Structure formats: C-alpha cells, structure tokens
Structure 1
Amino acid sequence: MKILTANRLTDGIAVWYADGGWAETVDHADLAHDKAAEDRLEAIGAKAYAANEVVDVNLIDADVVNGVVEPVRLREKIRAAGPTIRNDLGKQAGKQSTWAA
C-alpha cells in the first residue's frame, strides 16, 4: 500500500493526503491499493505542487496497524511523529507514539 506525503509550502510541516485535503497527521491518509490509485494520488500531488501548496511530494509505503495508517520506513515514521530526542515535541507530544525508535 502507498500513501501520499509532502511538506506544506507555507511552514514546511509534513503532511499527508487524506479525505480530499492535506492532513498534519498520517493516521487516516488515503491508501492506494493498486497502480490506478497510486496514479490518482500522484496526480493530486502534482496538482498541489503546481499550485504552490506543497513541496517534496512522494508516494511512500504504508501499512494499517490496529486500524491506523502508519508509514513503513523509519524516516517516514520520524516525519510523522516528530523529533526522536524529545517525545514532548512535535506531533508525538499530542498523542501516544505507536512505534519505538
């Protein structure tokens, strides 16, 4: 499965495409289960990039764990959670992190 991620141009925050817009959390990102869905997400990302909404648009591997979307690679898990040295900062500060570094 793949999900679409980028960085919001206005503030650099990592975002994921979910429910027709860019969400600051990965939990409910739209999943692409096949090539057609991947192509659709890539087209959405290209359009948002062209409109100067986001930069560094990428499809990344993801899994669903306990009903929640999670990135597969460690780099993407860090982007989703926040700094690895302080759990009281970043996105992980607002919720319990579901992965261990």
Structure 2
Amino acid sequence: MATGHYARTSQEDEEVFLQSHTSPPTTLFRNRFEIRNRKPVKLCKGADLVKDQTFFLSQISQDALRQTLFPLSGLTKDFVKKMAAEAGFHHVLKKKEV
C-alpha cells in the first residue's frame, strides 16, 4: 500500500541505498514486497519535519509497515504543492490544512 503520509521506513532506505544486483524480472511487474525480509522495520521521519506524521503512524504493525510505501518521504509539503500547481491540480491547493 502507498500512502501520502510524510514519513519513511528504514526498509525504504535500505532498498534505495543498499540494493544488491538482482536479475531483471521475468514478469512485467516485480513484486517489491517479495524481496523484503523479516527483520524489524523502523518508522522514521520524512524530509518535511513540520509535517512529520510518525507519531500518528507509530501504532502500525510490523507486517503493515513492511508492506507500506511512503512516496512523499523525501519531499516537503511546499514542494508537493508546487508539483500539484504545475500539474493543474488547483483544487488540491485550495484544500484546508489540518
């Protein structure tokens, strides 16, 4: 599952920075969850410390964390808003902040 929360996991860091060579997938899409092992996953703060949502997410189980992606982990809210504006999603920009 992918979520728009501003957080990241230690697992995502390892996938990005500690990847070992793997042969090309034989199917169209690689199931990235198949390669994740069973060691504990840490929930970490994302790049936007003002919008940090790790406290809210801290009750998620290890199994759920292993299967969750945080695509906004390396982005700030301001940058995401700029991306939305460039893509023409002006209704998102008008949404009230919580």
Q: Which has the higher contact order (CA 8 A, sep 6+)?
A: 2
Q: TM-score, normalised by structure 1?
A: 0.28
Q: Which structure's CA Rg is the greater one?
A: 2
Q: TM-score, normalised by structure 2?
A: 0.28
Higher strand share: 1
